[in-house]
Structure 1
Amino acid sequence: MTPTDAAAGASAGRWSSLDRPPLNAAGLRRALVAEGGLWTSLEVVPATGSTNTDLAERAPELPEGAVLVAEEQTAGRGRLDRTWSAPPRSGLFFSVLFKPGPAVPPERWGWLTLLAGVAATSGLSRAAGVDTLLKWPNDLLVVVDGEERKTGGILAERVADGVVVGIGLNVSLTEDELPVPGAGSLLLAKATVTDREPLLKAVLRSLEEWYGRWRDADGDPAACGLQETYAAGCSTLGKHVRADLPGGRTLTGTAEAVDADGRLVIRTGEDEREAVGAGDVVHLRPVR
């Protein structure tokens, strides 16, 4: 047991809950860290501000495949500097380090956000028995009482020689614990499993599988099936949307496709389309 793992175990006693046991770091390492595999280290800390920030600071000294997990994240960050918080041990809060190196051109590294979404939905579908949808570019949705709700998010950040990808996922949050109205959790979506360990294992194994496919295809999203799989699971496609773009411009139309660069293609008129690479996309009610 590492000092960090011991501290996590001791700290967990402050929040004793049979429904929210601490993660077994040693067991996770035995299951996931193997010679020849992607994951090279796995550390669990009792609490931190942001796993992305911590891992990004240490990225130059770490090999590809480092995983940092927090039982509690006090200053988690989403897109547009939004905060992400939840009660201790109520969700999965972790970051991983990818170093695609010369095998994948840097201009294709942006696909890692979408790849993480595909891997997460695939892993959760298998392990939790609940359908998880994607909202472009980086939200994970579940259906609660017939309504799509955000239950997770993904944040990718470039570091010196790679990318840190963070995933935050609400697992056992009750309605009263949700950070904002309209959020969701696997529990509220009636997942068959809310034990965080098998969920984390499933998502990390799915990440390893998809990352391997993508890297072996030199990052080509079409050749490895990533572009097609993302589109198939993307709830945004086919919806009437509003995209709030950098600089204050707003675009409204129908989301039609995700192009080879991972951009959302929005049809704004009969023969008018625009590809959006960055912005905040809102699903609107259908025009009647």
Structure 2
Amino acid sequence: MTPHNAADDNGSRWSDLERPPLNAAALRRALVREGSLWSHLDVVPRTGSTNSDLVARAAAGEVAEGAVLVAEEQTAGKGRLDRRWSAPPRSGLFFSVLLRPAEVPVARWGWLPLLTGVAVATGLSRAAGVDTALKWPNDLLVTVGGEERKAGGILAERAGEDSVVIGVGINVSLRADELPVPQAGSLGLAGAVSTDRDPLLRAVLRGLEEWYERWRAAGGDPAVSGLQETYAAGCATLGRTVRAELPGDRSIVGEAVAVDGDGRLVIATGEGVQEPVGAGDIVHLRPA
């Protein structure tokens, strides 16, 4: 039987049998418990952007720290640098979480997307059996046919003075003919042992809770919490020749040698200068 797109069947819940809907009640039972970080979990059938929705709910005072908003389909998902992306219904995990790290100096909040990357990569390795790597600062890479492909991304946005909303998008069951661009990938194409999104989401959120509590307990110190070392160990960018495309149409080429205490990528240029990059697009020029 040839799989088809759910949109062909007027949005029927079960139109694509390989892509069952998430079980919101079971997810709440597993994650929203006494003493847990996760305070509230909603699954919506369709929205523009879970990040935009959760930022708005936070601004209106409707949600507490630990709120999770999951969409079965995102029509205007946000990437870095105002990029937009979308995917077929129920083909991935598209969710946002609200965090309020009051004990951590705001200067260290820049570690939150990197922390989320570590949690996502370790959770998916455990639950999907797929080797994942992180491209600085917050892309999730998998290997498809011997090639590195982007299968997910992370975007952090401030929500008022005291809150951060972190959005995560992961391609789970996308088939080759559904990829938005040829360089994209999915867990299914990378040989995942499971593309059942319920256990994948549970694994990622449990990993995120564990890392967030560890980082918060250390006052956001990336070295004391072990975050800096763990991120570096899973970062596919380190040790490679890269081109950093920086704001203001500037670019630098060199070897990515470290992630510093502020979460910036340190690039050693041919002139012998070590330049920390805090924002910009990184292009991997050759394998590690």
Distance 1:12 1:225 in 2: 44
> Structure 1 length as normaliser, TM-score?
0.94
Quick check: which one's helix share is greater?
A: 1
Distance 2:18 2:259 in 1: 39
User: 2:46 is matched with which residue?
Assistant: 47
CA drift at 1:286: 6.0
User: 2:37 is matched with which residue?
Assistant: 38
User: 1:117 is matched with which residue?
Assistant: 117
* Residue type at the aligned position of 1:66: A
Q: Does residue 14 of structure 2 align to residue 24 of structure 1? A: no
Distance 1:83 1:152 in 2: 13
| Cα displacement string for residues 10-33 of structure 1 (whole angstroms, at most 9, x for unaligned residues) | x96255121000001011000000
The sequence identity of aligned pairs, in percent, is: 73
Query: Any gaps of 5 or more consecutive residues in structure 2?
Result: 1-9
User: 2:5 is matched with which residue?
Assistant: none
Contact 1:12 1:22 in 2 (8 A): no
| Cα displacement string for residues 61-105 of structure 1 (whole angstroms, at most 9, x for unaligned residues) | 11100000000000001001111210000000000000001x100
User: 2:188 is matched with which residue?
Assistant: 187
Contact 1:242 1:251 in 2 (8 A): yes
User: 2:7 is matched with which residue?
Assistant: none
- Structure 1 segment 3-18 matched on structure 2, within 5 A: 13=12, 16-18=15-17
> Structure 2 length as normaliser, TM-score?
0.94
RMSD over aligned Cα atoms: 1.3
User: 2:280 is matched with which residue?
Assistant: 279
Range 256-265 or range 60-69, more displaced: 60-69
Range 210-219 or range 59-68, more displaced: 59-68
Q: Does residue 131 of structure 2 align to residue 131 of structure 1? A: yes
Contact 2:245 2:280 in 1 (8 A): yes
Distance 2:209 2:129 in 1: 20
User: 1:197 is matched with which residue?
Assistant: 198
| Cα displacement string for residues 243-276 of structure 1 (whole angstroms, at most 9, x for unaligned residues) | 0001111011010000000000000025311000
Query: Any gaps of 5 or more consecutive residues in structure 1?
Result: 1-10
Contact 2:13 2:20 in 1 (8 A): no
3-state DSSP of counterpart to 2:12: helix
Distance 2:203 2:214 in 1: 17
3-state DSSP of counterpart to 1:219: coil
User: 2:222 is matched with which residue?
Assistant: 221
Distance 2:287 2:174 in 1: 30
3-state DSSP of counterpart to 1:52: helix
Distance 2:126 2:168 in 1: 18
Distance 2:67 2:197 in 1: 19
3-state DSSP of counterpart to 1:110: helix
Aligned length: 276
| Cα displacement string for residues 199-229 of structure 1 (whole angstroms, at most 9, x for unaligned residues) | 0000000000000000000000000000000
- Runs of 4+ aligned residues of structure 1 deviating over 2 Å after TM superposition are 11-15
User: 1:248 is matched with which residue?
Assistant: 249
